[in-house]
Chains A and B, each alone.
Chain A
Amino acid sequence: MMDMEHYYQPEIECASREQIRAWQDERLAKTVKRVYENVEFYKKRMDKQGIKPEDIQSTADLHKLPFVTKDDLRDAYPYGLLAAPLSDCVRIQSTSGTTGRRVVAFYTQHDIDLWEECCARAIAAAGGTKDDVVHVCYGYGLFTGGPGLNGGSHKVGSLTLPMSSGNTERQIQFMCDLGSTILCCTPSYAAYLAESIHERGLQDKIKLKAGIFGAEAWTEEMRQDIERMLGIKAYDIYGLTEISGPGVSFECSEQTGMHINEDHFIAEVINPETGEVLPDGEKGELVFTSITKEAFPLIRYRTRDICILSHKKCSCGRTHVKMTKPLGRSDDMLIVKGVNVFPSQIETVLLNQGYPANYQIIVDRQHNSDTIEVQVEMTQEMFSDNAGVVTEREKKLVDALKAMLGIYVKVNLVNPKTIARSEGKAVRIIDKRNLYQG
């Protein structure tokens, strides 16, 4: 027998398509007018293309507006895209990765409330109620994972365990002692926890019934593994700091894609080459427009995530459009241990440390945990007959990579000219994880 479907805001989540469309039309027009009046960046862009706020009356006009890219966000750092007075803002969050030019997103209290409601919908969809114990081991801090699910859990009224990441021993102890029922973390950490619980023979002591796992790509096989080992249902959740954080979309009981919270975000799928909007069911790059944000609304933000949208009726009763898991990227960004890694960052470090820019990045997943290795060609200058000297240089490189990316990168020194080149251009990335299927 199917469990009864839980909703946090059924009147919104199950609203008619006409109602959703009406919300979007009204909020889009309002948002465009507001950013045109308050943000120099948007005014310039729209003026350049001869678009006036009045030209955007409904979602049908959305395609007229120019895209916003991550580079735009970096160029606008820190305040360039702020659409509300700084005095109205109460929080910033920031994306993982780059230390040089980060992307910071601003939130008013209202923005946080709406974001947390989105996360509350995800928790409710996973069966969460005020009687649940929600165990959050996403990182807290600048990363949106912890704060988002934490806030969502408060909204639902669940008992919230703000565990943050790491310290597996303590995670398991609290899970057993306090009877955690819903686990929120990255899928790879969930798999690691599952293994650790089995190693300790504690599977009968845990009361988990569901998990909400996001911030990195995972496969259907991994879902089944986690579900079997922990005896839970594992739900996917999607989001990005630029648009708010986790909860932009989330899975329901059907587990066949994630409902996008369309009352807050308009989703489009485009051809990444031409920018042309693609019809339902076609694979392309996901673009979001946030229509309820006060501090940091983004118009047609290119996520670089490749996916497919579907308006097919869902058995859960929700009417909001569904997106597939990301099926790839339209740029060369890698997500390793939940951290965004661009090959160009690695290249910068290598050059700064005196190594040639000829390298190969090998990403793998062992025991459900990501590993990243950089193969670097040895040079005459970096070589010494003293192994200690070479090791010391290698360690300096590892430290510099850690400082740039925030994660440990294994360095492997190889003989010159051994890194495979195709058509004279080095093959930079080998991702052995096969995360993107379908």
Chain B
Amino acid sequence: MTVKQISVFVENKAGKLAELTEYLHQHEIDMRALSIAETQDFGIVRMIVNDTYKTSCILKEAGYVASITPVLAVEMPDEPGSLFKILKMLGDGGINLEYMYAFLTRKEATAYMVLRVEDNEKAIDILSKKGIHMISQEGIAGL
């Protein structure tokens, strides 16, 4: 059970990120989760949105370079130690983590982590066996 993340290349120049978000706003794209990886020269905006297909189309239209990656959106209790437990399960299972970021929703006492791992199937297998709940693409829209 994975969700689709859209990653967009953004030049490291003043106003470029604002430009992108304004463009998404104009097309009524709603972001569920967002993170930015920045280097000295450029940034990669990663987001999970309400309508992946539409977003991907309009980005292409505007000439952005973007890609879609399946990632895991893991649900966890919003309390100390939750993240550690999940990372330990993955570490013990030999799963390599490329990056991750957190997001919150209106749902009380629950936090979410987006995990980008090398092997989604294996990670899903490990986590679900331990009773960890992951959200589906449809689930994301309902949050």
Contact = CB atoms under 8 A, between A and B. Distances in A.
Given A385-B116, A386-B99, A415 B41 contact: no
Given A385-B5, A386-B98, A390-B44, A415 B39 contact: no
A379 to B, nearest CB: 7
B97 to A, nearest CB: 12
B69 interface: yes
A384 B63 contact: no
B67 interface: yes
Interface of B: 5, 7, 9-11, 37-39, 41-42, 44, 46, 63-67, 69, 98-99, 116
A68 interface: no
Nearest to B42: A413
Nearest to A413: B42
A416 B41 CA distance: 15
How would you classify the secondary structure of chain A's contact residues: helix, strand, loop or mixed? loop
B65 A394 contact: no
Contact of A385 (B7, B11, B38): B7
A387 B64 contact: no
Contacts of B69: 385
18 contacts: A378-B9, A378-B42, A379-B65, A383-B65, A383-B67, A384-B7, A385-B5, A385-B7, A385-B69, A386-B99, A387-B37, A390-B9, A391-B39, A394-B41, A412-B41, A416-B63, A416-B65, A417-B63
A387 B39 CA distance: 7
A244 to B, nearest CB: 42
B39 A380 contact: no
Interface residues on A, range: 10 to 19
For the complex of A and B, 3 pairs with smallest distance between CB atoms: A385-B7, A387-B37, A385-B69
Contacts of A384: 7, 67
Nearest to B60: A380
A136 B67 CA distance: 54
A418 B13 CA distance: 13
A412 B7 CA distance: 19
B8 to A, nearest CB: 9
Residue among B9, B46, B66 having the largest count of chain A Cβ atoms under 10 Å: B9
A45 B116 CA distance: 66
A413 B38 CA distance: 13
A380 B63 CA distance: 11
A385 B46 contact: yes
A415 B63 contact: yes
A101 to B, nearest CB: 32
Given A385-B67, A385-B116, A415 B11 contact: yes
A383 B66 CA distance: 8
Contact of A415 (B7, B9, B99, B116): B9
B119 to A, nearest CB: 15
